[in-house]
Every structure is written in C-alpha cells, then in structure tokens.
Amino acid sequence: MGGDVGPPVTVPAALAVLATHQPLHLTLVGDEQQITPLLASVSASHAERIEIVHTSVAISSHARPDSVLRGNRDSSMFIAVDRLRQGLADACVSAGNTGALLMAGRHLLEAIPGIDKPAIMATLPATRAGGYSYLLDVGANVSNTAAELYQFALMGAVLAASLSDRPHARVALLNIGAEANKGTPEIREAAALLADNPDVNYIGFIEGNQLFDGVADVIVCDGFTGNITIKTSAGAVKVLQRQLSASIRSSWYHRLLGLLAGPLLRDIRKNLNPSRYNGATLVGLRGIIVKSHGHALQDGFERAINHAIKQIEDDVPALIAGKMQR
C-alpha cells in the first residue's frame, strides 16, 4: 500500500481489478486505519475476497534499501514479500521503495535454478502494432557478466511471451553499434551464447536510437545502462510534453491550431501517458513481484496488478525454470 500517494490510489485500483477478475483474492498489507474507510462501499461478495494485514510500519522512498532487513521486518513491504515466500500469496505488487523491494525479494525468495541474478524488466512504448517492447535489466544490478546477460535474454523472452502473447519474441542486445565487433567483451560473448541457442529468436545488436522502433520485443542490457536509459527516456517525454504545451500557449494562432488539433493531441498524450507502461517485473526469483512506479495513479497501479495476474495465470517462474533446465 506504498507509493507517493498510498492507499487512496492503491486501494481503489485493487478494488477495480477485483471487480473484473472473479477468482482474484486480495491481501492488502498496510495501515488498517487508512485502508478500511476506502472499503466502505465494497459489496459483501467482494469483501469476502479481501483480507487486511495490518502494520503501521512503512519503508520511505528515501530509506536505505537494506533498512527493510535491518530494522523494518514488520514493514508492509517485508510482510507482503514474506507472504509470497510462505505461499500465502501468488504475487506481490508494490509501489514502494524499489531498492528495498529488491532487497526483500532477494533475501526471502530463492533464485530460479540456473539464474545467477534477478533483473527488473520494464515496458517501453514502441511504434508498431502492439505498441510495447520490454527492457531488462533496468536497475537490479550495476554490472553484469555475459552469462547473466544471456540469462536475462531467456527470462525476457518468456515474460514477453506471457505479457504480450508473442511466443517467438525477438530478442536484441543493446549496444553502441550493430557490427559484430562493437561493444564490451561481455556483450559480444552474450551475443555468441544467444546465437548458439536455437530456442531464442535472437536478432542481434540494436542501438539506442532503435529502442522505440519496435524492431525487438525484448532488449537486454546491464542494469546500469538500463536504469539510465529508462530514466532518460522518461525525462525526454516530459520535455516533449512541456515544449508542446508551451508552444500552444505562445500565441493566439498556436492556441487556435491547438484547438483544431485537439483529438490528435489527446491521442498523443494518451500514448505517451506513463500509466500505460507501468509495472516492472522483478524476474528471476521463485515468486512474482511487480513494481509499480511510486507516483502512478489508479489506472497505472491497475496495470501493475494486471501484469501480476497474467504472470500468475501463465506461471511465469515455472516457465523460466523449465527454459533454464532445457
């Protein structure tokens, strides 16, 4: 029940998803005094599928990630992930501190056999039918070996197939050039490993200017590069939106054009809305953890929950384990 706004966003989002998924049962972990008033209008049939686990302890967005282990094991985040470990939940969705969530996941959940490190996989807009690509790792690790990049590619292909129904997801490595001799030794070695695996639809290297072209369904990089990439992309979208708004307000003529182009501008804003791409998955652990952006609104948090539900239905950790075993 974390995030910048907390229960006023997360609870209505959870209830909206509950209404559209009949088998779904929710456990809301957080301050009962904040949660209960938001459930006042819930029907009796829906209330039967809701459990509240009370704790008033929360991890702030500015807290050190290891604080979730050192002194905050009674925090909502630690309790939620621990319920996943105990088999009391099938997935955990949180809008809280990313580093603390990663720390709790690594501490409480075992890695899938064959996976050395988990990764965080985020959704990117893409200019093609379907509209999405996936990027990993976006911050679970600072640096990665060739073997880890290879593992990220396998996991990303499985998750992309689940989330977007692309059984033959195209996998690419993010690099500084498309030529075979470009990039670090780790990237070139990972490319060789992927090229030798017939189970992976590996298409080669792509550069940063191709991220949003839709040429690849899954784009793999180390966590340092991925984190900078995803945050730079979000910043670029904000600049574009501000410049567009400033241009429309700059003169009466531009304001008139803005009115005439209203439907087009609304469509562009809709497609660039971060809520459409909310919900990053911590992949590689024996459990499903989905991280919502801290400032996501209700529709964005709903999307994160739906991400988790789709992975539960497909049992993504088991699919990844099977692929690693093969």
Sorted by where each begins, the domain ranges of the chain are: 1-109, 112-277+315-326
Question: What's 108-124 look like in SS3?
Answer: HCCECCCCCCCEEEEEE
| Average of per-residue pLDDT values in the chain | 87
* pLDDT on residue 252: 80
Distance of CA 139 to the CA centre of its chain: 11
* pLDDT on residue 127: 66
* pLDDT on residue 237: 72
Decide if pLDDT at 268 tops 70: no
Decide if pLDDT at 325 tops 70: yes
* pLDDT on residue 286: 92
What SS3 state is found at 6? coil
* pLDDT on residue 11: 92
Nearest to 157 by CA among 142, 172, 146, 147: 172
Q: What is the pLDDT of residues 72-86, one digit of tens each?
A: 888 899 999 999 999
Nearest to 89 by CA among 301, 320, 287: 287
Biggest alpha carbon–alpha carbon distance for the chain: 64
> Higher model confidence: residue 205 or residue 278?
205
How many Å apart are CA 152 and CA 63, to the nearest integer? 28
- Whose tokens are 């995803």? That residue is 230
Distances (CA, A) of 186 to 37, 138, 150, 292: 53, 17, 10, 30
Nearest to 99 by CA among 13, 30, 2: 2
**Burial of 199 per CB tally in 10 Å (0-12, 13-18, 19+):** exposed
How many Å apart are CA 206 and CA 202, to the nearest integer? 11
% the chain with pLDDT above 90: 46
* pLDDT on residue 13: 93
User: Where in 34-175 does DSSP place strands (E)?
Assistant: 50-54, 91-94, 119-125, 132-136, 170-174
Query: What is the average per-residue pLDDT within 188-211?
Result: 92
Which fold does the domain 112-277+315-326 belong to in CATH?
Isopropylmalate Dehydrogenase (3.40.718)
* pLDDT on residue 1: 64
Q: What share of the chain is helix, strand, coil (3-state, %, to 5)?
A: 50, 15, 35
Nearest to 166 by CA among 212, 200, 138: 200
Q: Mark residue 283 as left, alpha or beta (left: phi above 0; alpha: psi -120 to 50; beta: remaining).
A: beta
* pLDDT on residue 293: 86
The least confident of 82-86, 249-253, 274-278 is 274-278
Q: What is the pLDDT of residues 39-89, one digit of tens each?
A: 988 888 888 899 999 988 888 878 887 877 887 888 899 999 999 999 999
How many Å apart are CA 101 and CA 154, to the nearest integer? 23
